[in-house]
Amino acid sequence: MRMIVGTGEHRLNTVRQMTSPHADVRPDAGDISLLVIHAIALPPDAFGGPWIDDLFMGRLNCDMHPYFTTLRGVRVSAHACIFRDGSITQYVPFDRRAWHAGVSSFEGRSDCNDFSIGIELEGGDEWPFTDAQYTALGRVGDALLRAYPRLSNERIVGHADIAPGRKTDPGPHFDWPRGLAEIAFPR
């Protein structure tokens, strides 16, 4: 079954859904024109467990791991996360502003959260991403590019591209040619 974005609810049709409280109204819901690829692992370099869901849902117990104390009070989300096994969870409808980019700019325009979609990949700077993740990213990317005409192959970037010096993700092990080839959508 082809993955699609439902036009009324702005959600992917074939993925697990959760509703993050860390989102708000976009200044212009028609201005979805950038796709940002991120990487996340909680704690760093560890995969699996409930921690990513907990962080994005605002319920991370910061006493469960020493690293989590650095996240105390952090309010962050992504539109969706693709886990190591290729499974996908959507946290924020695409017509809403997820809090994924932080201080950022693209082509001279600041506040990328206003006009972007943020997709997390479970991973980090020290680990290659899985075949299942690239396949899932291709399916998600295809659905997004079909649903939002202002997105294009040229407007797919990494978090490091919009927050240089502050962020490194998706990191050196993200295979950009492969990722873009999976997502590529003929216009």
Type of residue at 82: I
Structure confidence by residue, pLDDT tens digits, 151-177: 999 999 999 999 999 999 999 999 999
Residue in 120, 122, 154, 182 annotated catalytic: 120
How close are the terminal C-alpha atoms of the chain, in Å? Answer: 22
Burial of 151: CB neighbours in 10 Å, binned 0-12, 13-18, 19+: buried
The yes-or-no answer on residue 120 being catalytic is: yes
Say what the pTM is.
0.97
* Rounded Cα gap, residues 178 and 94, in angstroms: 24
Res. 7 pLDDT band, cuts 50 70 90:
confident
Structure confidence by residue, pLDDT tens digits, 76-122: 999 999 999 999 999 999 999 999 999 999 999 999 999 999 999 99
* Rounded Cα gap, residues 27 and 111, in angstroms: 11
**pLDDT average, residue stretch 56-69:** 97
Q: Is the pLDDT of residue 15 over 80?
A: yes
Closest CA to 112 of 122, 102, 121, 120: 102
Identify the structural domains of the chain with CATH numbers, from first to last: 16-182 (3.40.80.10)
Kindly list the strands in the beta sheet with 116-122, ordered across the sheet, starting from the edge strand earlier in the chain. 16-17, 88-90, 80-82, 116-122, 34-40, 156-158
Segment among 7-11, 79-83, 129-133 with least mean pLDDT: 7-11
**pLDDT average, residue stretch 10-22:** 97
Q: Is the pLDDT of residue 147 over 90?
A: yes
Per-residue pLDDT, 187: 43
* Rounded Cα gap, residues 152 and 88, in angstroms: 22
